[in-house]
Amino acid sequence: MKINHIALYCKDLEGMRSFFMHFFAAQSNDLYHNPRTGLRTYILSFPDGETRLELMNRPDVQEGRVDESLHLGYIHISMSAGGKELVDDLTAQLVDAGHQVLSGPRTTGDGYYESCIVGPENILIEITE
Protein backbone atom coordinates (compact mmCIF):
# COMPACT_ATOMS: atom_id res chain seq x y z
CA MET A 1 0.00 0.00 0.00
CA LYS A 2 1.24 3.51 -0.75
CA ILE A 3 -0.21 7.00 -0.98
CA ASN A 4 -1.22 7.73 -4.56
CA HIS A 5 -1.22 11.53 -4.23
CA ILE A 6 -1.94 14.44 -1.91
CA ALA A 7 -4.38 17.19 -2.95
CA LEU A 8 -4.29 20.87 -2.06
CA TYR A 9 -6.89 23.58 -2.70
CA CYS A 10 -5.33 26.92 -3.54
CA LYS A 11 -6.40 30.40 -4.64
CA ASP A 12 -3.69 30.97 -7.27
CA LEU A 13 -3.60 27.70 -9.18
CA GLU A 14 -1.11 28.89 -11.80
CA GLY A 15 1.18 30.50 -9.22
CA MET A 16 1.23 27.37 -7.05
CA ARG A 17 1.93 25.22 -10.11
CA SER A 18 4.81 27.49 -11.16
CA PHE A 19 6.26 27.41 -7.62
CA PHE A 20 6.49 23.62 -7.51
CA MET A 21 7.76 23.39 -11.09
CA HIS A 22 10.46 26.01 -10.48
CA PHE A 23 11.77 25.01 -7.05
CA PHE A 24 10.99 21.27 -6.92
CA ALA A 25 11.35 20.17 -10.58
CA ALA A 26 7.70 19.10 -10.81
CA GLN A 27 6.17 18.19 -14.14
CA SER A 28 2.53 19.08 -14.75
CA ASN A 29 -0.25 17.54 -16.75
CA ASP A 30 -2.61 19.74 -18.74
CA LEU A 31 -5.26 21.69 -16.92
CA TYR A 32 -8.44 19.77 -16.15
CA HIS A 33 -11.58 21.92 -15.94
CA ASN A 34 -15.07 20.79 -14.98
CA PRO A 35 -17.37 23.56 -16.24
CA ARG A 36 -20.30 22.28 -14.16
CA THR A 37 -18.54 22.67 -10.78
CA GLY A 38 -15.83 25.16 -11.75
CA LEU A 39 -13.14 22.76 -10.51
CA ARG A 40 -9.72 23.26 -12.10
CA THR A 41 -6.83 20.91 -11.33
CA TYR A 42 -3.28 20.04 -12.20
CA ILE A 43 -1.50 16.84 -11.20
CA LEU A 44 2.19 17.45 -10.55
CA SER A 45 4.71 14.62 -10.71
CA PHE A 46 8.14 14.82 -9.14
CA PRO A 47 11.50 13.44 -10.32
CA ASP A 48 11.28 10.26 -8.22
CA GLY A 49 8.50 9.13 -10.58
CA GLU A 50 6.14 8.16 -7.75
CA THR A 51 5.27 11.28 -5.78
CA ARG A 52 2.31 13.32 -7.02
CA LEU A 53 0.55 16.44 -5.81
CA GLU A 54 -2.86 17.54 -7.06
CA LEU A 55 -3.40 21.29 -7.06
CA MET A 56 -7.06 22.27 -7.11
CA ASN A 57 -9.08 25.46 -7.39
CA ARG A 58 -12.82 25.86 -7.20
CA PRO A 59 -14.81 29.08 -6.88
CA ASP A 60 -17.00 27.86 -4.01
CA VAL A 61 -14.12 26.80 -1.71
CA GLN A 62 -13.81 29.17 1.22
CA GLU A 63 -10.55 30.19 2.84
CA GLY A 64 -10.15 28.58 6.26
CA ARG A 65 -8.66 29.93 9.44
CA VAL A 66 -4.87 29.97 9.49
CA ASP A 67 -3.25 29.64 12.92
CA GLU A 68 0.39 29.05 12.06
CA SER A 69 0.92 25.27 12.21
CA LEU A 70 -1.07 24.57 15.36
CA HIS A 71 -4.28 22.98 14.18
CA LEU A 72 -5.64 19.48 13.65
CA GLY A 73 -5.20 17.88 10.26
CA TYR A 74 -2.45 18.03 7.68
CA ILE A 75 0.30 20.46 8.64
CA HIS A 76 3.01 20.43 5.98
CA ILE A 77 4.38 18.74 2.91
CA SER A 78 7.93 17.39 3.11
CA MET A 79 10.13 17.39 0.02
CA SER A 80 13.41 15.47 -0.12
CA ALA A 81 16.16 17.48 -1.80
CA GLY A 82 18.68 14.63 -1.93
CA GLY A 83 21.40 15.76 0.48
CA LYS A 84 22.43 18.32 3.09
CA GLU A 85 24.05 20.69 0.60
CA LEU A 86 20.94 20.54 -1.56
CA VAL A 87 18.77 21.42 1.47
CA ASP A 88 21.03 24.42 2.10
CA ASP A 89 21.02 25.48 -1.57
CA LEU A 90 17.26 25.15 -2.03
CA THR A 91 16.56 26.95 1.24
CA ALA A 92 18.79 29.82 0.11
CA GLN A 93 17.01 29.98 -3.27
CA LEU A 94 13.64 30.15 -1.53
CA VAL A 95 14.85 32.90 0.82
CA ASP A 96 16.19 34.85 -2.19
CA ALA A 97 12.75 34.50 -3.77
CA GLY A 98 11.17 36.07 -0.69
CA HIS A 99 9.95 33.03 1.24
CA GLN A 100 10.18 32.97 5.04
CA VAL A 101 12.24 30.29 6.79
CA LEU A 102 10.56 29.03 9.96
CA SER A 103 13.43 26.77 11.00
CA GLY A 104 16.80 25.49 9.85
CA PRO A 105 18.56 24.28 8.01
CA ARG A 106 19.39 22.16 11.02
CA THR A 107 19.58 18.63 12.33
CA THR A 108 16.43 17.92 14.32
CA GLY A 109 16.31 16.04 17.60
CA ASP A 110 15.23 12.90 15.75
CA GLY A 111 18.19 13.12 13.35
CA TYR A 112 16.72 14.69 10.21
CA TYR A 113 18.56 17.48 8.39
CA GLU A 114 15.88 19.90 7.26
CA SER A 115 14.54 23.39 6.93
CA CYS A 116 10.93 24.55 6.97
CA ILE A 117 9.72 27.41 4.79
CA VAL A 118 6.44 29.19 4.25
CA GLY A 119 5.42 28.65 0.64
CA PRO A 120 2.74 30.31 -1.43
CA GLU A 121 -0.60 30.81 0.32
CA ASN A 122 1.04 30.03 3.68
CA ILE A 123 1.60 26.32 3.03
CA LEU A 124 4.42 24.90 5.13
CA ILE A 125 7.11 22.96 3.28
CA GLU A 126 9.84 20.95 4.97
CA ILE A 127 12.92 20.43 2.86
CA THR A 128 14.81 17.32 3.94
CA GLU A 129 17.99 15.69 2.72
CATH 3.10.180.10 residue ranges of the chain are 6-57, 76-128
- Residues 76-128, CATH architecture: Roll (3.10)
Helix axes 13-24, 84-96, angle to 10 degrees: 140
- Name which of 16, 73, 74, 26 is nearest 50 in CA terms: 26
pTM of the model: 0.87
| pLDDT at 95 (0 to 100) | 97
Q: What CA–CA distances, in Å, run from 61 to 30, 48, 106, 107, 108?
A: 22, 31, 36, 37, 36
Per-residue pLDDT, averaged over 17-26, amounts to 97
C-alpha torsion 55→123→22→9, nearest 10: 10
Under CATH, what is the fold of the domain 6-57? 2,3-Dihydroxybiphenyl 1,2-Dioxygenase; domain 1 (3.10.180)
| pLDDT at 49 (0 to 100) | 87
Per-residue pLDDT, averaged over 14-23, amounts to 97
Mean pLDDT across the chain, nearest whole number?
Answer: 90
